[in-house]
Structure 1
Amino acid sequence: MSAKASPKSFAIPIKILPDDIDFMGHVNNSRYLNWVQDVVLQHWQKLAPAEEVASKAWVAIKHEITYRRPAFLDDDVIAETVLERIKGARSFYNTVIRRGEEVLAEVRSAWCCIDSKTHRPARIDQDVAERCFGIPRKP
């Protein structure tokens, strides 16, 4: 992969359920974080090699969310994420939740990769970061 590689985005459709709706008639804000977790974990499972998926797990360590517009029961919504950078065992994602072209929420999040058996922090191999996720090698 060339030095011009850019991170690969990944998107999933969101199914809004009646239980997602709060007393104000729109999706409760806590559901957005579930959607972020869903898209980040599916991104890892889809792009990482099977042995990496089997040997590693993820723990959220920080979410910063900006809500732009509410979502409603019958909306067609997608969550799109990109792994922007990796530093040690930490990975930094940017996720955008959309209804068509409308941005409903933007979420910057930090995740810690852990070894599935020991539950200790585990680094992502640079080759995996570059080959699977489009994170360019550091100079």
Structure 2
Amino acid sequence: MPTATAFVFCHPIEITTQDIDAMGHVNNAVYLQWVQEAVVRYWQYRSPPQAQIELLWVALKHVIVYRLPLFLEDRVEAHVMATATRGTRASFTTLFKRGDDLVAEVRSSWCCVDATTRRPRRIASDIARAFLPNVGRSVAANKEQD
């Protein structure tokens, strides 16, 4: 579970007709697109401009728990929290909410990549602190789950 010290980023999601499957609700695969969009927006919001030029992120793993279906007219938000960093990796939790209802939870692991070389790059402590202000304590308390 996210630490109490993590910053929470809220990202509104617009459901389009293309998101709806034959069963009349949002297709499960659409959530992956939404996670990508929400985590990238979170990165753009919290990180320094120079870091946005120098660093990219590659998704390594997503674990999704679907709780309730979403429909075309629903209003939904993605609540994104960084949960840990270690070496070149960062972990995020994205909660999709319709009002007070939790409709899906996604735990994901991402690799930090140098924008020039396209090789993994260690996450600097100042970057980690932009997402986890108590990074020294949260890294030890939140070992990344692979």
- TM interval, shorter chain, is over 0.9
Structure 2 unmatched runs, 5+? 138-146
- 1:138 is aligned to 136
Q: Deviations over 1:25-72 (max 9, x none)?
A: 000000011111111011111110000011111100000000000000
| 8 Å contact from structure 1 (residues 84, 135) kept in 2 | no
- 2:144 is aligned to none
Letter in 1 for 2:87: G
- 1:25 is aligned to 24
Distance 1:30 1:67 in 2: 11
- 2:140 is aligned to none
Distance 1:44 1:24 in 2: 33
Distance 2:11 2:56 in 1: 20
Q: Which SS does the other structure have where 1:6 is aligned? A: coil
Structure 1 unmatched runs, 5+? none
TM alignment of 1:85-124, pairs within 5 A: 85-124=84-123
- 1:14 is aligned to 13
TM-score, normalised to structure 2's length? 0.88
| 8 Å contact from structure 2 (residues 13, 78) kept in 1 | yes
Q: Which SS does the other structure have where 2:22 is aligned? A: coil
TM-score, normalised to structure 1's length? 0.93
